[in-house]
Amino acid sequence: MRAANPEYLLAALRSIIKAKGLTYRELADRLGVPLSTFKRHLYSPNITLEKLLDYCQEADASLDELQKLAIKLQHDNDSFFSHTQDEVFYLFPQLYDFYRELRHLRNQDSYDYMRKKYGLDKTSTYAYLRALEMLGLVKLAEDNKIQLNGPYYYRFSDDSKLSEKYKDILKEQALENPNCVRVGFSRMYLKEDQLESLNKLLAKEVLKYHSENMQSEATGEELLRNVLLFVTHHQPLTFSDGISALPNSFLQDIRKTIVQFEEQGA
């Protein structure tokens, strides 16, 4: 059996704790560890083996059980950002916006494209890319060629701060509108004939449900609905105020942040 990454071992431990109905405070009290320290340890990939074994024992879980669950989580969730990547992107949203656009470029010289589109100098462009390389998401070549690492699409984990921020932005943009739609997609490549097919499909389904409710006498003012299909041009959803020139301390700040999250609880 291959070894699981420390991050997934911790995710497995958190899952076991939750499944057994235990609380962090309960376990921290039993172990004589401050709650804040215990929480940090559960997210620190540099946790010592001794601490990990202590926590497993207190949660009544064997190391073999933890390893098997961690392997499954790692297999299922390889498209998730790591805790460190998520935290860094949350604290430096312009870096995440840069990365999101970089991943969606097609058949273009991404280095020159990003530099020219956002009016970046070579120093700032390199700083963005070097920060992503430090996070393990890109690999830089000497000729400014960029190799993207990992799957094309990344997902947010349940406890992702980026996920919460994404929801907040969507809510601000759309969900607080009294006429908001119930279902929404963005960045969809659709032709006019495909949109027409969707219109026909929606009309058919709405009329079918309407007829069923009429026949079953499931009617009344509270059930009356206006159903509209909105199709608009995609507007980019950004996490920052924009991709712009970076301060000279940017890479140093990124490095410190990565070290901070990777060494917590070590």
Q: What is the pLDDT of residue 1?
A: 42
The reply to whether 142 and 91 lie within a common domain is yes
Same domain, 104 and 121: yes
What is the pLDDT at residue 76?
Answer: 66
Residues 6 or more apart whose Cβ sits within 8 Å of residue 194: none
- Which of 47, 76, 105 is the last residue in one of the domains? 76
Task: Give me the pLDDT at residue 48, please.
Answer: 84
pLDDT tens digits for the chain (266 residues)? 456 677 788 888 998 999 999 999 999 999 998 998 898 888 887 788 888 899 999 999 988 899 888 888 776 666 678 888 899 999 999 999 999 888 877 556 888 999 999 999 999 999 999 999 999 888 888 887 888 877 666 777 767 888 888 878 766 765 555 555 566 677 788 888 888 888 888 888 888 888 888 777 777 777 777 676 666 666 667 889 999 999 999 999 999 998 888 766 44
Q: Is 233 part of a structural domain of the chain?
A: no
Query: For position 266, what pLDDT does the model report?
Result: 45
What pLDDT, on a 0 to 100 scale, did the predictor assign at position 176? 58
Same-domain pairing of 132 and 37: no
Q: What is the pTM of this model?
A: 0.55
Burial of 147 from C-beta contacts in 10 A (0-12 / 13-18 / 19+)? exposed
Of the three residues 57, 76, 95, the one that is the final residue of a domain is 76
Which pLDDT score, from 0 to 100, does residue 70 have? Answer: 86
Q: Is residue 230 part of a domain?
A: no
Angstrom distance (rounded) from CA 206 to CA 255? 54
Going from the C-alpha of 103 to that of each of 43, 81, 110, 111, the distances in angstroms are 27, 14, 9, 12
Domain boundary among 26, 48, 76: 76
Q: Nearest-CA neighbor of 88 among 14, 151, 38, 162? A: 162
Indicate whether 93 and 69 sit together in one domain. Answer: no
* CATH number of the domain to which 35 belongs: 1.10.260.40
Element (H, E) at 147: strand 146-148
Question: Do 149 and 131 touch, CB atoms closer than 8 A?
Answer: no
pLDDT of residue 96: 94
**Can you give the residue range of the structural domain that contains 96?**
83-155+240-263
Structural domain includes residue 165: no
| Residue 147 phi, psi (nearest 5) | -105, 120
Query: Is 41 in the same domain as 143?
Result: no
> Which pLDDT does position 3 carry in this prediction?
61
For residue 80, the model assigns a pLDDT of 74
Whether 94 and 214 share a structural domain: no
61 and 93 within one domain: no
The total number of structural domains in the chain stands at 3
